[in-house]
A = this chain, B = another copy of it.
Amino acid sequence: MRSKEKVKVPENLLSFLKEKDTFFIATHINPDGDAFGSALALSIALETLGKHTVVYDRDSIPAFYRFLPGHERIINSISNLIPNLFRDQISNLILLDCNTPERAGIEGTKFRYSAVIDHHETEKDFGDIKWVEPDAAATGLMLFYLIKALGIPITKEIAINLYCAIAIDTGTFRYNNTTAEVLQVSAELIEAGANPAYISHNLYETWSRGRFALLIAALNTLKIRDDVAIIFVTQEMYQKTGAEPADTENFPNFPRMMKDIKVTALFRELDNNYWKVSLRSKGDMNVAKIAALFDGGGHKNAAGYRMKADLKTATETLLQAIHRKATA
């Protein structure tokens, strides 16, 4: 094996996965390629061991992720499930790419045991087993080591899912979490059957006309203050274009193209005067610390939070927070 195993998979997680037979795999709301790719790869891998898995995401899978092998196994409703299939078996939760039930939209559901596998920095205490690697570029990268540690071969289906997970979280190898290890693991995934051009085409060149129209509408809202770029998307813009929240996935990357922009913020309207804010930064600017000021979280260069306020107040509050951070 060429890739350096910098990541050590915890023994108690391996025992949990080997000993139990049924798993409820859940990932975060507003899922991205790392969430879907990791969840599907783990589901496919565990089922080769004869385990039974359910993959749950509260939100449905966007059309452009439907090339992922196994995507049809994702369910978006938990209520029908409980009285039937799982009955009292809904005991073994695996939370992927997030670390609280709230983040997965499953707060209130009871689980007997729970494991967390995530690369987001966290102070939270949920999970009987916690495996959090803030230095890992993607949860998909952790899954690669986990699946190998379980002795499961990386099939083509698993490889495509993990490659997508890593590609999305590294900006297809452009962000500063792109390490030699990331490329070595991705090379192994190609050897296992992942096709980089096919995956990139699906991720980047299969936009609907509505999604492209929404991008143009969002770019038309561009405001620049010093080295901060702000764009927003309203409910009305979704309606006009026929696009949906998941379609905004990489919108913050566009203003990033400007040389002197250090932070990009995308404000998405969740409800009247209620905003989901996605922050992206370049270099040393730590937006996780900005997001934390508003009870949000994330990574140094990609973080988010929610805020109840009118748009003007919400943007001014953010700009002031960034300004204070920058001059602190």
**Which A residues fall within an 8 A CB radius of B?**
2, 171-176, 178-181, 183-184, 186-188, 190-191, 195-198, 200-201, 204-209, 212, 215-216, 219-220, 222, 224, 255-260, 282
Cα distance, A197 to B180, chains bound together (Å): 12
Query: Does the CB pair A180–B188 fall under 8 Å?
Result: yes
Q: Which residues of B contact A179 (CB under 8 A)?
A: 190
Q: What are some 26 contacts across the A-B interface (CB < 8 A)?
A: A2-B2, A2-B184, A171-B200, A172-B174, A173-B196, A174-B196, A174-B197, A174-B200, A174-B204, A175-B197, A176-B197, A176-B198, A178-B197, A180-B188, A183-B184, A184-B187, A204-B257, A205-B256, A207-B259, A209-B224, A209-B260, A212-B222, A216-B216, A216-B219, A216-B220, A216-B222
Q: Which residues of B contact A215 (CB under 8 A)?
A: 219
Query: Does the CB pair B174–A282 fall under 8 Å?
Result: no
Given A205-B258, A258-B207, A259-B206, the answer on whether A180 and B173 have CB atoms closer than 8 Å is: no
Cα distance, A291 to B195, chains bound together (Å): 27
For this chain, the copies found in one complex come to 2
Q: Smallest distance from the beta carbon of A51 to chain B beta carbons, Å? A: 29
Cα distance, A198 to B222, chains bound together (Å): 25
Query: Does the CB pair A257–B183 fall under 8 Å?
Result: no
- Write the chain B residue with the least CB distance to A190: B180
Query: Does the CB pair B173–A258 fall under 8 Å?
Result: no
Q: Which residues of B contact A183 (CB under 8 A)?
A: 183-184, 186-187, 190
Q: Smallest distance from the beta carbon of A32 to chain B beta carbons, Å? A: 17
- Write the chain B residue with the least CB distance to A174: B200
Cα distance, A8 to B55, chains bound together (Å): 47
Most B-side CB within 10 Å, residue of A188, A207, A222: A207
